[in-house]
Structure 1
Amino acid sequence: MVGFLIWLVLLFLCWPIALLALILYPLVWLVCLPFRIVGIGVEAVFETLRAILLLPARVLGGGPHR
Structure 2
Amino acid sequence: MLTFLLWLLLLIFCWPLALLALVLYPIVWLLALPFRLIGISVEAVLSLLRAILMLPARALRGRHG
In structure 2, the gaps of 5 or more residues are: none
The runs of 5 or more residues in structure 1 that have no matched partner are none
Residue 55 (structure 2) pairs with residue 55 (structure 1): yes
More helix by share: 2
Q: State percent identity of aligned pairs.
A: 67
TM-score, structure 1 as length reference:
0.91
> 2:20 & 2:38 partners in 1: Cα distance?
28
Matched positions, count:
63
Query: What CA distance in whole angstroms lies between the structure 1 residues aligned with 2:11 and 2:38?
Result: 34
- The one-letter code matched in structure 2 to 1:60 is L
Alignment match, 1:36: 36
For residues 2-55 of structure 1, the C-alpha deviation after alignment (integer angstroms, 9 at most, x for no partner) is 100000000000000000000000000000000000000000010001001100
Shift of 1:61: 1.5
Paired AA for residue 42 in structure 1? V
- Structure 1 distance, partners of 2:15, 2:60, is 64
Query: So what's the TM-score if we normalise by structure 2?
Result: 0.92
Q: Deviation above 2 Å: which 4+ runs of structure 1? A: none
Task: Please report the RMSD computed on the Cα atoms of aligned residues, expressed in angstroms.
Answer: 1.3
